Amino acid sequence: MSTFNLDNILSQFLIEGKVESVKPLGNGLINDTFRVVTEGDAPDYVLQRINNNIFTDVDLLQHNIEAVTGHIRRKLEAAGADDIDRKVLRFVPTQQGKTYYLDNEGRYWRVSVFIPDAVTYEQVDLTSSRNAGKAFGEFESMLVDLPEQLGETIPDFHNMELRARQLQEAIEQDKAGRVAGVADIIADLQKDMHEMCKAERLFREGKLPKRICHCDTKVNNMMYDKQGNVLCVIDLDTVMPSFVFSDYGDFLRTGANFMAEDDPKIENVGFNQDIFRAFTEGYIESARSFLTPVEVENLPYAVALFPFMQCVRFFADYLNGDTYYKIAYPEHNLVRTRNQQALYHRVTDNYDMMDNFIRTLI
Ligand code: GN1
Ligand code: MG
């Protein structure tokens, strides 16, 4: 990371103040993120290198982010909200008036204003889960009337049929020679593959809408103030049309697992019912106005779908020789796979509980 000439990159953006330091920030698995500390009263900034191996159309991506943050900002202004810069990200333009900079080596950069006195969590409690549910429901609800169609920054990102095909290819190609050791996982996933592709079938039958969703609602993609109130949703690269299952299910994948997604103690992986209930209450409260009966009915399926899909994605990356997710050690993606597989099974043990609870809310 230190090989980047960050001073030169920062000088392309219209930032205020003199840069004091630039340090790595957060634990994202895709982009490289830095906090830019400035001297005196000027704001601090977040500098990010956008991983354009994964987000191949940065123009479309930044266009989506501008459309979404602009729309939310206008709504907050119209509602007379205070502290708007703490509730929606503000991107800093370059000298050329764009919100990203392409350097001489083909790397893409962007800068947003750092939100002070705010925190992200790797784990949530009941209050922060309820607030997160409300916040993601509000985020979707504010975007229901976005006056333009957004493109998909990663086409078919949460399409389970595509993820199934990618896994099948990874198995057939066996690029890293790892297939022989993991036959048990392959067989286990294949059992439920058809069932887990249900959303795509409902969509083709015209029964399930796509809406603008965040599509990366893991716990650490939300900023809280020090009192535990949600300020703002961050990490907007995957904002695109998808099923609401994406936001609802993916939050619970990280929020309601007793362990981190890469914890090797599989026997401790489990589904936290209290977090499920708290998050669901918050989500239904703010999403009730637009959710259809088919969406509501399938929320328990969504809770199972996301650990399942994430398991398939980590597993395919493991079989392909670790080309997508950042890893810290050679078997990291296999550990993540087994963790998500265990979580998937713990979630499916809870179908009846989830169904019954959701019924009490509507
Ligand atoms: C990636 O960028 P980050 O770490 O928030 C991934 C998500 C996965 C997640 C698993 C663009 O998110 O889809 O759920 O890792 N983002 C992309 O931790 O693939
Ligand atoms: Mg992130």
pLDDT tens digits along 42-65: 999 999 999 999 999 999 999 999
Tens of pLDDT along 330-345? 999 999 999 999 999 9
Q: What is the dihedral of CA 267, 271, 274, 276, to 10 degrees?
A: 160
Nearest to 306 by CA among 186, 188, 187, 217: 217
Q: Which of 216, 246, 310 for mutating ligand 1's site (highest number of atoms within 8 Å of CB)?
A: 216
The domains of the chain, with CATH numbers, are 6-115 (3.30.200.20), 126-360 (3.90.1200.10)
Q: How far apart are CA 218 and CA 247, in angstroms?
A: 9
Which residues are bridge partners to 109 per DSSP? 49, 101
Ligand 1 near 218 CB (within 6 A):
yes
Ligand 1 near 51 CB (within 6 A):
no
pLDDT of residue 28: 81
Q: Which ligand is nearest to the CA of 120?
A: 2
Ligand 1 near 216 CB (within 6 A):
yes
Ligand 1 near 338 CB (within 6 A):
no
Rounded to the nearest angstrom, the distance between the alpha carbon of 300 and the centre of ligand 1 is: 22
Residues of the chain short of pLDDT 50, as ranges, are 1-2
Reduce the DSSP state of residue 30 to 3 states and report it: coil
Q: How many CB atoms lie within 10 A of CB 185?
A: 19
C-alpha separations of 33 from 118, 152, 217, 234, 318 in Å: 16, 22, 18, 12, 24
Rounded to the nearest angstrom, the distance between the alpha carbon of 131 and the centre of ligand 1 is: 22
Atom of ligand 1 nearest to the CA of 30: 2
Rounded to the nearest angstrom, the distance between the alpha carbon of 217 and the centre of ligand 2 is: 8
Q: How far apart are CA 111 and CA 57, in angstroms?
A: 18
Ligand 1 near 309 CB (within 6 A):
no
pLDDT of residue 4: 75
Q: How many CA atoms lie within 13 Å of 120's alpha carbon, on the beta-carbon side?
A: 17
**Pairing outcome for strands 118-119 and 101-102:** unpaired
pLDDT of residue 3: 63
pLDDT of residue 29: 85
| For ligand 1, atom 5: residue with the closest CA | 28
pLDDT of residue 1: 47
Give the chain's end-to-end CA distance (angstroms, integer).
49
pTM of the model: 0.91
Reading the block at residue 311, the tokens are: 């398991």
Question: Residues in the chain, how many?
Answer: 362
Q: Which ligand is nearest to the CA of 237?
A: 1
Q: What angle do CA 248, 249, 250 make, to 5 degrees?
A: 100
Task: Tell me if 281 sits within 8 A of 130, measured CB to CB.
Answer: yes
Atom of ligand 1 nearest to the CA of 306: 14
* Rg of the chain on CA atoms, in Å: 20
Q: How far apart are CA 136 and CA 281, in angstroms?
A: 12
pLDDT of residue 218: 84
Task: Tell me if 239 sits within 8 A of 68, measured CB to CB.
Answer: yes
Tens of pLDDT along 141-197? 999 999 999 999 999 999 999 999 999 999 999 999 999 999 999 999 999 999 999
Q: What is the dihedral of CA 181, 183, 185, 188, to 10 degrees?
A: -170
